Structure 1
Amino acid sequence: MKCLLTLLLLLAPLAASAAAPAALYQQHCQSCHGAERMGAMAPALLSQSLERLKPAEVLRTIRDGRTATQMAGFAGTLSDADISALAAWLGTPPATPPLWREADTAASRIQYHDPASLPATPQFATGIDPRNLFVVVEAGDHHVTVLDGDRFTPLTRFQSRFALHGGPKFSPDGRFVYFASRDGWVSQYDLYTLQTVAEIRVGLNTRNLAVSDDGRWVLAGNTLPQTLVLLDANGLKPVKTYAVQDRSGKPSRVSAVYDAAPRQSFIVALKDAAELWEISYNPKAAPIYPGYVHDYQMGEGLALPGYQNPRITPLDMVLDDFFFDDSYRHVMAASRDGHAQVINLDSRSKVAELPLDGMPHLGSGITFQQGGHHYMATPNLNSGRVTVIDMDRWQVAANIATPGPGFFLRSHDNTPYAWVDAMMSPQRDTLSIIDKRSFKVVRQLTLRPGKTNAHVEFTHDGRYALVSIMETPGELVVVDATTFREVAALPMMKPIGKYNVFNKVTRSSGTSH
């Protein structure tokens, strides 16, 4: 939202001399983007959908259009003042708040292929390991590349929905990948046949989604409207919509939703309420009735999976981010103001305070074992350091200095090193390589000076590290994880996220879950 406010201030003088932006939108935009800016054949243009775009990107898109889409540029049609006024107007919420109902979700569903008719085996060339594929989200031109992780060659590249989240989720067998776009579209893609199976729009602004460990359910969390939407994972049929409200009835946006596989449940953090929700998909879980907070019990088929009401854990702070320990019994949780604590999901109580300040990015943390102890390490969005937490004692074991605030921390079970970026700082081109045995930075790597070097992901065996050069145009650079030498580079359009199928479905300790 800060970018949008900056945009409004910068463009106000030009907007004053321009045509009425609402009229410009009606004349030039609404046929594709919808009368209420909620999207039609083109993406939604709500302020919530655009808040992560830089002001220059909004202006450039209106002026020059988007390549490989039907979005034409208006440089020859509108004046600079009109373009500036329109860009500023799109950064403001509509006068009438947009609505999205269950009926809208159901009506939006598109089925491209019958899941029952899909072949049972991969249809690409023999010798390609379907478990060592990478799915790369390219934000620069809204495409996805499916990459062979053995040969580092693309199998396909296809256009995605507008502004996908960088972290897609996979079915337990690794066959299907599920994407969520910021303007509410959920897509199911088949990696065996390299085609989209189904899509559905679950809201107007979606935070993220999770896939159940039994492969039956997808749960999407929204910030607009304030809902959780449960989908049948096999074809994305809508099953249930949860109105997200705290115990007093106050609505809340969803901050994050993750699958807790050993618990057979989804864990949900709320952005505007001091609560943590657990929604079970265990078919033997006793039902949780609305208005009550019950202890977790096992029953005999008392509730259909996926139809559970949330089991609520009251908190003393609003969560912004969280991370599971290896057993999934505990959640390490942080607020935006730097407070952090450990929550036991069984007793639904706080068991420890964590001395973490700044803004730890727990969702991008890793776990590892060393010297008989279980550790978790997290980067920090506000300061140049990685914090290592001893999960046996719930104490900080080390603070490791890095060149600047980072977003992603990654490792692999087969490497002694963890890689962290400094992409939130002027040193965004520098990767720090940390020895997990000594808690020391042993090397700093700059693959492309002056450009954002970030988001490392390893091949299934940990032999190679793939690094995103998050630029438009950018690259995917393949590095030997032992010698740190570059071995390949592939052109990409701002690859914001890439995930290895094997590492994700086996819940590798070195990558996000």
Structure 2
Amino acid sequence: MVKPWFAGSAAVFLVSSTLLAVSPLQADEKTADVQKLYQAHCASCHGIDRLGGMGPALLPGNLSRLKQDEALKVIREGRPATQMTGFASELTEEESQALAEWIYTPPESKPTWTLADIKQSHEVMHPYGSLPDEPNFDADPLNLFLVVETGDHHVSLLDGDSFERIDRFPSRYALHGGPKYTPDGRFVFFGSRDGWISKYDIYNQEMVAEVRAGINMRNIAVSGDGRYVMAANYLPHSLVLFDAHNLDPMKVYPAVGENGESSRVSAVYAAPPRGSFIAALKDIKEVWEIPWPMATSPVVSTGHMKEPIEALRSHDTGNFDLRRIAVEDYLDDFFFGPEYRYLVGAARGGQGARVIDLDSGEKIADLPLEGMPHLGAGVTWMLDGRRVMAIPHLNKGLVSVFDMQDWSLVKNIETQGPGFFMRSHENSPYAWVDVFFGPNSEKVHVIDKQSLEIVKTLAPAPGKTAAHVEFDRRGEKLLLSIWDRDGAVIVYDAKTLEELERIPMDKPSGKYNVWNKTRYEEGTSH
């Protein structure tokens, strides 16, 4: 078995001083027995308090992607290509079932993860500047793809021209929120559901640093100059700031509102034109903006954002001080206009969306989005001289198109089911949207961006979910995932819509092109 890069001694660290063990005097006999089983068979990898260690955290919030019957199967049979071995020969069916049920129960004591815990988890494998500065491959370094394979928790690095694999390496459990690149495309940061941030050097195919920001993490963001990383946590309720060079922890921001109430952090975003991070808060009616110190020269000056950062930035404090923007509703899941002046936030429960002017902090529009919009998957393009945005819905078969000048609804495009991901490219006449939820998940719609009509519906793998498109840097080819353990990434010609080849992969999910992500291409999520 290949030993994962994160299975070394530094992955086993001291856990938080607040332990989750329950006294047998306070628990019934069954609970006491299952805790003994856990301590005997699971604690060495998953932590004595279920907060994780070499293996992922085993708490309900961290296991949301894994069904209980699937967890039972993993306990019995293990997980391929990981150090999780099966326990069928050591545990009875009843004991395995009891463990599977117990890890989905909340702990009696609220777990903590302090700055001291974060620092304790920190490991630097290759200090910044210690590896060669030139790529050790011949591919275009700005036309690479990273493909997250969720089946066996690996990531593939693909040449965006030949689609040959340059590397395939193990990842932490349940990567979430998408990898984030430095502006030059050399380094990429991954965030896992159970709080790990991992920094990978693409030029040298080496994992260079790692740190655990929290227990249940939503996503990460990288500053426009590549110098800082921020993590958004559900547990504990916090934002955490890091120096991007070696992932040294810098500051923890408890997510507490002006009214003193604590909140989960839904997500954090980098807003390069503003030189700031923007945070979405789940449980308080605020939007947070945290500016970073401005670099001496502009970083983003090509692609979708045509102007240098300095010309666009509107809040020039740059000292990591928190700016609170009061809003009239709980806003979750954000979409930004090209200059990052306007923020569109989904209201709680899918009851429409609000448009906030980040300069003034004022709401300027309400959007009628009743199907629980997935704003993070929204894309924009030019239509009749005006910029529009298009957004799929999570519980209704619609794509809603809005005029970004007056925020009027241009059209609701009916689809064959609720969608999750939408993608396009500045050089493509089409936008692609899946119907991820429901009986038609095998299908993907291709929408003409000028007529706003579905011109083709593909079903490349009948009976298997097809989702998440990503274009190459020129918009000439694109990749589509077949989300299955016996899955593939399909390469399409972006003009003719013809299939070119299939690359076998283990349940591939998101694909992320270096150019599109670092140049903030209008057809991809940011």
Normalised by the length of structure 1, the TM-score is 0.91
Per-residue CA deviations over 1:58-109 (Å, capped at 9, x if unaligned) read: 1111111011222111122222222111111100111222111100101111
Counterpart in 2 of 1:266?
277
Counterpart in 2 of 1:20?
33
Per-residue CA deviations over 1:159-209 (Å, capped at 9, x if unaligned) read: 111111151111111111100001100011111111111000011010101
Counterpart in 1 of 2:131?
118
Per-residue CA deviations over 1:465-508 (Å, capped at 9, x if unaligned) read: 10011111211111111222111111111111110000110000
TM-superposed deviation, 1:339: 2.4
Mapped partners of 1:57, 1:110: distance in 2: 32
Counterpart in 2 of 1:64?
77
Mapped partners of 1:358, 1:50: distance in 2: 26
Per-residue CA deviations over 1:130-180 (Å, capped at 9, x if unaligned) read: 111101111111111101111111111011111111511111111111000
Mapped partners of 1:63, 1:374: distance in 2: 53
TM-superposed deviation, 1:416: 0.6
Percent identity over the alignment is: 52
> Contact between 1:409 and 1:421, CA under 8 Å: does it hold in 2?
yes
Residue 369 to residue 89, structure 1, CA distance change in 2 (3 Å): same
Residue 283 to residue 173, structure 1, CA distance change in 2 (3 Å): closer
The answer to whether residue 265 in structure 2 is matched with residue 254 in structure 1 is: yes
Say which SS state the counterpart of residue 20 (structure 1) adopts: helix
Which region of structure 1 is more displaced relative to structure 2, 23-32 or 374-383? 23-32
Which amino acid is the alignment partner of residue 337 of structure 2?
D
Which amino acid is the alignment partner of residue 282 of structure 2?
K
The answer to whether residue 239 in structure 2 is matched with residue 228 in structure 1 is: yes
The answer to whether residue 178 in structure 2 is matched with residue 167 in structure 1 is: yes
> Contact between 1:166 and 1:496, CA under 8 Å: does it hold in 2?
no
TM-superposed deviation, 1:283: 4.4
> Contact between 1:19 and 1:82, CA under 8 Å: does it hold in 2?
no
> Contact between 1:62 and 1:83, CA under 8 Å: does it hold in 2?
yes
**Paired residues for 1:379-390 under 5 Å:** 379-390=392-403
Per-residue CA deviations over 1:347-371 (Å, capped at 9, x if unaligned) read: 1010111111120001100000011
Residue 66 to residue 297, structure 1, CA distance change in 2 (3 Å): closer
> Contact between 1:18 and 1:82, CA under 8 Å: does it hold in 2?
no
The answer to whether residue 483 in structure 2 is matched with residue 480 in structure 1 is: no
Residue 463 to residue 283, structure 1, CA distance change in 2 (3 Å): closer
Which amino acid is the alignment partner of residue 118 of structure 1?
L
Mapped partners of 1:410, 1:298: distance in 2: 30
Say which SS state the counterpart of residue 39 (structure 1) adopts: coil
Counterpart in 2 of 1:95?
108
Residue 434 to residue 205, structure 1, CA distance change in 2 (3 Å): same
Per-residue CA deviations over 1:229-284 (Å, capped at 9, x if unaligned) read: 10001110111111110101111110111011100001101011111000011449
Decide which of 144, 157, 167 is 1:156's aligned counterpart: 167
Mapped partners of 1:117, 1:40: distance in 2: 27
Per-residue CA deviations over 1:403-434 (Å, capped at 9, x if unaligned) read: 00000000011111000000111100000000
TM-superposed deviation, 1:20: 2.8
Mapped partners of 1:485, 1:56: distance in 2: 39
Counterpart in 2 of 1:490?
503
Mapped partners of 2:490, 2:247: distance in 1: 34
Mapped partners of 2:294, 2:469: distance in 1: 37
Which amino acid is the alignment partner of residue 175 of structure 1?
R
TM-superposed deviation, 1:118: 2.0
Counterpart in 1 of 2:467?
454
Say which SS state the counterpart of residue 126 (structure 2) adopts: coil
Counterpart in 1 of 2:327?
315
Counterpart in 2 of 1:130?
141
Normalised by the length of structure 2, the TM-score is 0.89
Counterpart in 1 of 2:340?
328
Which region of structure 1 is more displaced relative to structure 2, 46-55 or 366-375? 46-55
Say which SS state the counterpart of residue 373 (structure 2) adopts: coil
Counterpart in 1 of 2:50?
37
Mapped partners of 1:62, 1:244: distance in 2: 35
Counterpart in 1 of 2:59?
46
Counterpart in 1 of 2:291?
280
TM-superposed deviation, 1:18: 10
Which amino acid is the alignment partner of residue 311 of structure 1?
R
> Contact between 2:466 and 2:482, CA under 8 Å: does it hold in 1?
yes
Point out where structure 1 has 5 or more consecutive residues left out of the alignment.
1-14, 285-295
Which amino acid is the alignment partner of residue 121 of structure 1?
E
**Paired residues for 1:318-467 under 5 Å:** 318-337=330-349, 338-467=351-480
Counterpart in 1 of 2:308?
none
Counterpart in 1 of 2:302?
none
Which amino acid is the alignment partner of residue 75 of structure 2?
I
Mapped partners of 2:83, 2:185: distance in 1: 33
Which amino acid is the alignment partner of residue 328 of structure 2?
D
Residue 283 to residue 153, structure 1, CA distance change in 2 (3 Å): closer
Mapped partners of 1:375, 1:465: distance in 2: 22
Which amino acid is the alignment partner of residue 254 of structure 2?
A
Mapped partners of 2:130, 2:75: distance in 1: 42
Which amino acid is the alignment partner of residue 374 of structure 1?
R
Mapped partners of 1:116, 1:408: distance in 2: 37
Counterpart in 1 of 2:4?
none
Mapped partners of 1:458, 1:16: distance in 2: 56
Say which SS state the counterpart of residue 108 (structure 2) adopts: coil
Mapped partners of 2:275, 2:154: distance in 1: 32
Mapped partners of 2:53, 2:199: distance in 1: 20
TM-superposed deviation, 1:321: 0.9
Equivalenced residue count is 481
Say which SS state the counterpart of residue 214 (structure 1) adopts: coil
